Structure 1
Amino acid sequence: MKKCVCALIALIMSFPFLTACNNGDGVGNESKNQENESAAVSGSVSDESSEASEDGNKPYGWNLPVRDMDNREFRVLCREFGAGSASILGFNGEVIQRPDFDEQTADMVDIEKYRVRREIEDRYNCTITGELSSASQGDFNNIVKSCVLTGEPHYDMVFDAYGFMYTIIAEDMYADIASIDSIDLSNPWWDQNAVRDLSICKKLYFICGDINTYDNDGTWVIYYNKELAAKVIPDVNFYSLVENNEWTFDKFAQIVRMVSSDTDGVDGMSEFDTWGLGTESYNAFVHMLASGRKIAQKDENDVPYLDFQNDGMYTVMDKIMTFYSDNDNVLVANRFSGKYSNPWEETIIKAFRDGRELFYMGGLINMVGFRTIDFNFGVLPIPKYTAEQDNYYHSVSIHNMSCLGIPATTDDYDDLGLIIEALGAESKNKVTPVYYDKCMKSMYVRDEEDEAMLDIIFDSRCFDLGSVFNWGGILWEFMNINTNFASRFDAIADAAQAQLEETLEYFRK
């Protein structure tokens, strides 16, 4: 009987649905999160984005068991990313939808998320409900704690940023996803880079995959103004630089310095002039990660160790910090924190929108909002540190992203695991092709060359446990823009090691 049901489901799942995308906006301000936290102290898409699985023409998840859940309700708690922000717009939930969701007016991705949820509800005789919460980091975590400790309110799935979630893992608030038998993390609807990079001692407490999309939006890239480039540096073909393995940090810095100029009629460079690069302090870390280095590496037993005090790291950081300290060529939004309530919007975003900035470095959450720009722009990978690197490496934001966590409310996650697997598989069949091929590639970027750049970017995403757990506040030292980083690293090394040991003590239990 189950084989018949699966065959029928496979037939139904083979018919795609087409709708239209709407507009939104978004700005990834990682440095702002750092400042706020200091004061208080996706599935990834890929070229497999089609409805045919590796088994041929069968859809992903065709062989998952189908079980009658007897009308069980599964509850989702999802952070409302961008709540109260004028610049991060368009996020409408992972798995669940807003109460005012209307299939006639919703955008294409949200419609597919809705259809996936309803299909899984019908298939498994269950309901999937929940809320989006705009609570602060602390209050959001307190909701999860109340769920685990008192059972009220009850949630089965949580979508939050791992830069917020990690703080309550050691309090036994989240379950080890890798230990849930009904979830197979080797399945193609889970981001295998995240599975590899985010585990500790073979345990995994948060994960990305096709079940969520905002982790994709939190992928960092370089946008560039094609018209400004054609005017100022007409002989430079950026796509050829990438294809010929010449897109390196040195080349990037050279081009930036060729473009920055005093154009506002007032002596001295200000936020109103023309800039080669608009960026933020967090991106110093992004460039470091793009070199293939990490704050924390892992050994053969999946045990992380700190790796930020060595000559190789110092060489990379010296070049990055020297470049970011060049106030005549690099516009860093954080320098204007005392002048503007939102320095990102008022400086680097404004300069790019005004056509006065060649490169803007930020998250793909900006892509939808940039569609209203009246000049042609492109997308490029974060440059390699040297041409000798085998691969590009791309950062996923620690706060402007979503991942899945499971509250530690029970010892029996069998049914929940099956529902999560089904949601992930069906999202890979329906949501990811719409998100990546129909929206990101066909509607957001403007040229075929940019589509190839997106493939490079998404194929090279990676995660650094040192930035996620931020042991000893080490990430903040990578964001402190000056060349005295070695002494700062020394000053926090013992605290970072001690906090890492505390984390390992919990994970080894």
Structure 2
Amino acid sequence: MKNSITRLLTLTLALLVLTATAVSCGGREQTPEDTTTGAGAAETTSDDETTRLYPDFPDKDYGGADFNVLRYDSQTVHGWSEIPNDIMVNEPNGEILNDAVYARNQLVEERFGVRIVSIEDGKGLSQRLQTSVLAGDGTYDLVNQCLNEAGRLFNLGLIVSYDTLDMDLSMPWFDQNSIEGFTMSGKIFAAVSDVTFVDKLSTVVAFYNKGLAEKLDIPDLYETALSGNWTLEQMLSYASLVTADLNADGKMDQNDSYLISCQNDGSYYLLHSAGICTTINDGTNIRYNLSNERAISALEKIFSIMTDKNVYFNRQQYSLQPPEVAAMFANDQALFMLRPVQSLYDLRKLDVQFGIIPIPKFEASQENYSVPVNSWAATIICIPKDRVDYERISLVFEALAAESYYSIMPSFYDVVLGVKLVKDSTAAQVLDLVFANRLYDIGFIWNFGNIRGMIVVPSMTGIASAIQRTEKIVENAIKTFMSEIEKLKE
């Protein structure tokens, strides 16, 4: 999110800083009641708030029509029970994000005379949309699918390109990295916006155990991250300080302490932290990107780390669930835990001081951090093929996105920064750094030639040979995909 919101917290004042735009909010903390939906390109909400940027919405009233969003239910599928629905909630309940969603929806509903409805589904979402499209029901206005299923929606012919909508995708409430990542042959079939926060919670970070770091005299990692000097080499240098066979039984398992706690997904977490995608997408063409020397060398190093039990604890090899590894982390059994931001909900139940920083740069020569997104949980918004009222979709969708930028995202930062001992003033700047550098790997997300199945494993030998064996399969899958896009232009 290149135009993310920075929450700088002090003991007496919370300031909002909108980065990379000419617009900022200052003076007092934003609340849902402060927010109004504008009909013009810019709007001032009060004397002590600066002008906000809004689309130039026309006057429209849809007479109370339902605006239906078919939503992937990450909360149920992944057990994220404490996270409110980011599309619709029934009433305020005092929880920050819940109430922000309620207030946002009320404003948009009143502005356009609609009723926002969230229809929940999990693994059956694609089938549900297909049934609607084939029947010509026109049931859904938007589809909020998990990243890894976006390709299936396209392959089944269930979604259309964003160019059917009249929206400015360069506005700050759209994640510009997602726009770039999902532009294929000039078409955009999916995008991330501030309408949702499940995708933000699915952003993968390095939680670090601040109490343990202080005991080991490790310098302030927030400052290291902000300086751009946080590297994998530095992370690995701490292994000898923390790795220990705690119960002296001669083996390393869940009873011992490690540098890194993660899972099979660490392979693509670290690959993406190197800025390496499985495919290169220049907006016009897509090509395989794992057969080059840098990618092969990176994967060899990654799997050497993942199989080193003096460094890396893989929870899946011990059949542990995320709350269990969070408990290990809180028990000083890991200095770093590579997990989606969502894990803060587990950590805040425990007695642990922790910080949130990017997964380190794979190489010091990298200009920027490259932040992975857990594509099994993160969601993305697509435009269903069975709706014809694209004007209404455009207006309501962008109004939700714009209002979320000013109300949902500040509330989201409150939730992330408001948990135990993550209230450092620099923590908000680090979060901005994280969200500004998220990477969307179209090859991994679309899963050309089952790339995910090849990479997301606990170990891999003969990496160069494995990549060579799959190269033609991946390239053929890409070729088929691109030919389908070209047909849409005819």
Which interval holds the TM-score relative to the shorter structure?
Answer: 0.7 to 0.9
Change (3 A) 1:62 1:309: closer
Are residues 323 and 257 of structure 1, via their aligned partners in 2, closer, same or farther at CA, if it must alter by over 3 Å? farther
1:285 maps to 268
Name the amino acid aligned to 2:342. Answer: I
Contact 1:378/1:446 (<8 A) preserved: no
Residue equivalent to 1:506 = 484
Q: 1:402 aligns with which of 368, 379, 390?
A: 379
> Equivalent residue for 1:69?
62
Percent identity over the alignment is 21
Quick one: which of 429, 442, 455 aligns to 2:432? 455
1:304 counterpart residue number? 286
Question: Which residue is 1:275 aligned to?
Answer: 258
Give the deviation of 1:152 after TM superposition: 4.7
Output one character per residue of 1:309-363: Cα deviation in whole Å (capped at 9) or x when no partner: 0111122122111111102321012222xxx3x44444x3331132321110010
Please tell me whether residue 477 in structure 1 is matched to residue 454 in structure 2: yes
2:141 to 156, 163, 167: 156
The whole-number CA distance in structure 2 between the counterparts of 1:327 and 1:78 is 39
In the aligned structure 2, how far is the partner of 1:314 from the partner of 1:148? 42
Could you tell me which residue of structure 2 aligns to residue 102 of structure 1? 91
CA contact (8 A) 2:43 2:54 kept: no
For residues 375-432 of structure 1, the C-alpha deviation after alignment (integer angstroms, 9 at most, x for no partner) is 2111111111121111101011111111111210144411211111111111112111
Please give the per-residue CA displacement for 1:214-254, whole angstroms capped at 9, x wherever unaligned.
111110000011111222x2143323433444321111112
- Length-normalised TM-score, structure 2: 0.86
In structure 2, C-alpha distance between the alignment counterparts of 1:58 and 1:230, rounded to whole Å: 43
Q: Distance in 1 between matches of 2:77 and 2:475?
A: 37
**TM-score calculated relative to the size of structure 1:** 0.83
What does 1:254-269 align with in structure 2 at a 5 Å threshold?
254-269=237-252
Q: Which residue of 461, 473, 479 maps to 1:495?
A: 473
Question: Which whole-Å CA distance do the structure 1 matches of 2:70 and 2:115 have between them?
Answer: 14
8 Å Cα contact 1:180-1:414 kept in structure 2: no
Structure 1 residues 426 and 244: alpha-carbon distance in aligned structure 2, compared to 1, 3 A threshold = closer
Aligned position for 1:91: 83
Residue 182 of structure 1: how far off its partner (Å):
1.8
Unaligned runs of 5+ in 1: 1-44
Closer, same or farther in 2 for the Cα pair 1:265/1:239, shift >3 Å? same
User: Residue 418 of structure 1 aligns to which amino acid in structure 2?
Assistant: L
- The residue number in structure 2 matching 1:316 is 298
SS where residue 241 of structure 1 aligns? helix
Letter in 2 for 1:64: F
Aligned position for 2:33: none
Contact 1:95 1:114 in 2 (8 A): no
Contact map agreement 2:70 2:140 (CA 8 A) in 1: yes
Change (3 A) 1:433 1:454: same
Change (3 A) 1:245 1:186: closer
Q: Deviations over 1:50-107 (max 9, x none)?
A: 6589888333326322312233221112122131655x2223323212xxx331x241
Distance 1:47 1:283 in 2: 31
Please give the root-mean-square deviation of Cα atoms over the aligned residues, in Å: 2.3
Could you tell me how far apart the structure 1 residues matched to 2:288 and 2:42 are?
37
Cα shift at 1:367: 1.5
Matches within 5 A, 1:59-458: 59-61=52-54, 63-83=56-76, 85-86=78-79, 88-97=80-89, 101-103=90-92, 105-133=93-121, 135=122, 137=123, 139-152=124-137, 154-177=139-162, 179-231=163-215, 233-299=216-282, 301-336=283-318, 340=319, 342-346=320-324, 348-436=325-413, 438-443=414-419, 445-458=422-435
Distance 1:159 1:243, change over 3 A: closer
CA shift for structure 1 position 439: 2.2
On the 8 A contact 1:217/1:365 being kept in 2, the answer is yes
Structure 2: how far apart are the matches of 1:147 and 1:503?
23
How far apart are 1:479 and its partner, in Å?
Answer: 2.2
8 A contact 2:360–2:369 mirrored in 1: yes
Letter in 1 for 2:246: T
Aligned residues: 448
C-alpha displacement of 1:469: 0.8
Q: Which amino acid aligns with 2:144?
A: F
Q: Deviations over 1:248-270 (max 9, x none)?
A: 11111121343110012422111
> What amino acid does structure 2 have at the position aligned with 1:102?
E
Cα 1:472–1:257 change in 2 (3 A) is farther
Secondary structure of 1:65's aligned partner: coil
Aligned residue type for 2:292: N
Whether the aligned pair in 2 keeps the contact of 1:73 and 1:127 (CA below 8 Å) is yes
SS at match of 2:84: coil
The 1:486/1:266 distance shift into structure 2, 3 A limit, reads same
CA deviations 1:140-184 (Å, max 9, x no partner) are 21111112111458111121212012113122101211x124222
CA contact (8 A) 1:81 1:91 kept: no
Cα distance between partner residues in 1 of 2:42 and 2:247:
56
